[in-house]
Structure 1
Amino acid sequence: MKLEEKCGINGSLVGSRQPHLGEEHQAHRKAVASAGAKVSGKQEANGKQEVPRKSLNMYTWQEIQRHNQQADQWLVINRKVYDVTGWADRHPGGRRVLTYYAGEDATDAFRAVHPELDVVQLYLKPLLIGELAPGEPSQERHKNSQLVKDFQELRKTVEAMNMFDANLGFFFLHLAQILILEVLAWLTVYHFGTGWCVTIFIAFLLTISQGQSILLQHDAGHSSIFKKSKWNHLFQKFIMCHLKGLSGNWWNYGHFQHHLKTNDYTADPDVKMSPLFVVGDLQPVEYGKKKIKYINYEKQHLYFYIVMVPFLMPVHANRKSFRMMYLKRDWEDIAWVSSFYIRHFITFGPFYGIFGTLLLIYFVKFLESPWFTYVTQMSHIPMQMSMEENRDWFSTQVLSTCNVEQSFFNDWFTGQMNYQIEHHLFPTMPRHNYHKVAPLVRSLCAKHGLPYVKKPLLTAFGDIGRALKKYGALWKKAYYET
């Protein structure tokens, strides 16, 4: 069984075992290995192996924070210090998410994206080099320790409520909806031919199917449907690659960078929008002061509707997906994505021909793109963006996301992504439980004076353009007045 099947291709912070023995830690690692060898094979198999406390080095935060470079990466999880340097290239979620937490406390981020802790702990053990010294706080001193503690208590409460248990019926009803739409589209062309009205109706059915597919694969990518990540892995391949024609690994690598450092200019690929757009309160001013003008950013809120809205899915997403599969020689995803096109050629090729079928595929992606753009951007573009701010997990997610008001339509239309705050706090939670934990999250926000932003759907859509216009004005002021 591949490691990706054990841990899930889901941007997690740990994965396969690849020992790294830097010269400065050679002697210490040998001592750890010697002590660990005394533990019975049965304990090791059960994931219960413990290295004797006396063999662990003690580190201060000052020392740990020095190991934050690509060639030297330590991170802290539950007060334990791990050296992930030599192993990072084999990390299932990619090297970057480890780099983002190098020299930091990664406890809450680690817990947020790993649904199978008993499995993951087995791969952490060889990387253990020490622990925080007794006098050191559990997280960096600049963080609000009470808020961190309260959030960790909230997570325990949510776990006790079984909010991480999925209702399989919920997800299979959504899968049934997708399959029914796909079959209905084929039956329509089979019985009524390829006239313009029929083709538009078929495209409409397939657009709804494609939109619901990406929401369903989003759940599988976060390992929030099945208890075993290997089943989520296979389910995501079927949904994302076979039903949508996009690489599942491409989605996961980028999406979990977004989750782990949300709205961080240096880490979140979703806010790296230059040279087309400048976003947030910092980037426009920086570009303006440096006299950077790739495009007239004062008008970016207008060409957002001309460029990004219609072409995000058919051009940008497809280009990124195919590029990653090619560069990484991702044969598994290539095979799955090929099945998407083969299925369409078999289903619609007899009616539209090969070229006409390709046009139909990309016309559907063109129609899907506005929906996808609005649903994904409404919760982040208008919110706070930062530059390498090492904040606690709770504050990071609450300040960089917002919710949309609950209704039956909003829940279906957005796939419960109208609960972005809860989703970002608990990425592996099944989406049908977000509304149940929302009152607890609001309560914790109120206790610590943090905003819990919730908007009507149309207001959230409009805020994208309003935010881009504001950022463009910041750029203009800095460009012409400094």
Structure 2
Amino acid sequence: MSQLVADSNPQQRFTNLYTDLARTVRELGLLRRRQGYYWTRIALVLVAFAGVWVGVGLLGNSWFQLLMAGAFALVLTQVAFLSHDSSHRQIFESAKWNDWTARLLAGGLIGISSAWWKSKHSRHHAAPNQLNRDPDLDIGVIAFTPEQAARRTGLQKWLTARQGWLFFPLLTLEGLSLYVSSVGHVFRRGASKIERVEGALVMSRIGIYLALLFFLLPPGKAFAFLGLQLAVFGVCLGGSFAPNHKGMPLVPASMKVDFLRRQVLMSRNIHGGRFTDFAMGGLNYQIEHHLFPSMPRPTLRKVQPIVREYCERHGVAYTEVSLVASYKIVIDYLNNVGLRARDPFQCPLATAYRG
């Protein structure tokens, strides 16, 4: 390791650090697939999915259907986590099996295109919190950077100053936003053949869902069911992704960053035990997930102490907070993004490379 420390090129040194960590993880067998775990998860969500509709049929014309709407949103959130894992090829060795599993879960059960999601999410993984590269920093309703906030005037400026407090109410619209963006992607001009296949799957699922809902329930209750399901789904899914990067350092658009520091310094872990693992679909181990995207979800807990100790030994800041603390950080950051949010050029990476 002394040879690495003596290297005059800091980027090469940091690249070598990731290579050493990856070798250790691979030699410990922590990248092996966990198909038994995933088959069990898939079976359970399919049973839960069917169980919700059995419950809807048994309840009939009742406002207790809103409880089923909330339950359905929770089931769809778990389906989304499984589709996310499969898109990262965590489940099977075969890329084709992973891709089709993601398509069937996302398109067939949720009604969202996995191709659209994968395109957007892959760009995020390649450049988390990097200006002009991370699509998660370019959401029209919310300003995530000081530059975005500075361009706003009038009522929009007033709302931006309070957007942290509005964050959770806005998440209730995230579910609808996902559907609109997904449908727009698969039916855009120039969509590939597989995206058109996904489009047919997505529209079939949406059509069957709406037909069943309005067949089983009167219009008022059907609209209430649909609205609550979309709102809870948006809050659960958006609330699982938001704490992981918002309020962490921003990276200048032109800055080149080594893989280890790009993923660790821009990500935040959430501690909280098994319930948090379940509720967030393993995304609470965001640092480990970004370092090893194809690592099966249940292995992230095992690799965490290795990664944390490795980062501490090499002076790479490793951030982990509680879920409540993370939401406080996100709210404070969003409320003050145009006032005292971190300047991207004061990112700790810049100091590290100058050193």
State the TM-score, normalizing by the size of structure 2.
0.85
Residue pair 1:224, 1:428 contacting (<8 A) in 2 also: yes
| CA apart distance, 1:287 | 4.9
1:313 corresponds in structure 2 to: 175
Give, as a single letter, the amino acid of the residue that structure 2 aligns with 1:272.
D
Residue pair 2:214, 2:222 contacting (<8 A) in 1 also: yes
2:348 corresponds in structure 1 to: none
1:150 aligns with 2:14: no
CA distance in 2, matches of 1:249, 1:362: 25
SS in 2 for 1:471: coil
SS in 2 for 1:474: coil
Match of 2:33 among 166, 179, 189: 166
Match of 1:180 among 35, 47, 54: 47
Residue pair 1:147, 1:448 contacting (<8 A) in 2 also: no
| CA apart distance, 1:456 | 1.0
| CA apart distance, 1:467 | 1.3
CA distance in 1, matches of 2:226, 2:93: 33
The CA deviation string for residues 33-90 of structure 1, in whole angstroms up to 9 with x for no partner, is: xxxxxxxxxxxxxxxxxxxxxxxxxxxxxxxxxxxxxxxxxxxxxxxxxxxxxxxxxx
Match of 1:301 among 158, 164, 168: 164
Give, as a single letter, the amino acid of the residue that structure 2 aligns with 1:311.
L
Larger Cα Rg: Structure 1 or Structure 2?
A: 1
CA distance in 2, matches of 1:320, 1:405: 31
1:479 corresponds in structure 2 to: none
Residue pair 1:182, 1:205 contacting (<8 A) in 2 also: no
The CA deviation string for residues 132-160 of structure 1, in whole angstroms up to 9 with x for no partner, is: xxxxxxxxx86432221121021112112
For 1:411-430, list aligned pairs within 5 A.
411-430=277-296
1:268 aligns with 2:268: no
| CA apart distance, 1:250 | 0.5
CA distance in 1, matches of 2:60, 2:249: 50
Structure with the larger RCO, 1 or 2 (CA within 8 Å, 6+ apart): 2
SS in 2 for 1:300: coil
2:146 corresponds in structure 1 to: 284
SS in 2 for 1:144: helix
Gaps of at least 5 residues in structure 1 are: 1-140, 476-482
The CA deviation string for residues 252-275 of structure 1, in whole angstroms up to 9 with x for no partner, is: 00000000011112111101134x
Match of 1:466 among 329, 332, 341: 332
| CA apart distance, 1:358 | 6.5
1:336 aligns with 2:205: no
Residue pair 2:63, 2:221 contacting (<8 A) in 1 also: no
Residue pair 1:385, 1:400 contacting (<8 A) in 2 also: yes
CA distance in 1, matches of 2:323, 2:241: 12
CA distance in 2, matches of 1:217, 1:299: 34
CA distance in 2, matches of 1:285, 1:346: 45
Residue pair 1:344, 1:357 contacting (<8 A) in 2 also: no
Gaps of at least 5 residues in structure 2 are: 1-7, 342-355
| CA apart distance, 1:175 | 1.4
Residue pair 2:164, 2:332 contacting (<8 A) in 1 also: yes
2:317 corresponds in structure 1 to: 451
1:382 aligns with 2:208: no
CA distance in 1, matches of 2:88, 2:313: 29
1:210 aligns with 2:76: yes
The CA deviation string for residues 417-464 of structure 1, in whole angstroms up to 9 with x for no partner, is: 110000001111111111111122112211221211111111112221
Residue pair 2:45, 2:79 contacting (<8 A) in 1 also: yes
CA gap 1:354/1:175 in 2 versus in 1, 3 angstroms: farther
| CA apart distance, 1:291 | 7.4
CA gap 1:324/1:146 in 2 versus in 1, 3 angstroms: same
CA distance in 1, matches of 2:135, 2:99: 22
CA gap 1:353/1:229 in 2 versus in 1, 3 angstroms: farther
Give, as a single letter, the amino acid of the residue that structure 1 aligns with 2:239.
Y
Match of 1:245 among 86, 105, 111: 111
Give, as a single letter, the amino acid of the residue that structure 1 aligns with 2:98.
N
Between the two proteins, what is the percent identity of the paired residues? 23
SS in 2 for 1:162: coil
CA distance in 1, matches of 2:223, 2:179: 13
Match of 2:187 among 326, 338, 342: 326
Whichever structure has more helix as a proportion of its residues is 2
CA RMSD of aligned residues (A): 2.4
SS in 2 for 1:195: coil
| CA apart distance, 1:355 | 8.8
SS in 2 for 1:263: coil
For 1:331-410, list aligned pairs within 5 A.
331-345=196-210, 347-352=212-217, 360-388=225-253, 389-410=255-276
Match of 1:195 among 62, 85, 89: 62
CA distance in 2, matches of 1:378, 1:336: 31
| CA apart distance, 1:299 | 1.9
SS in 1 for 2:229: helix
State the TM-score, normalizing by the size of structure 1.
0.64
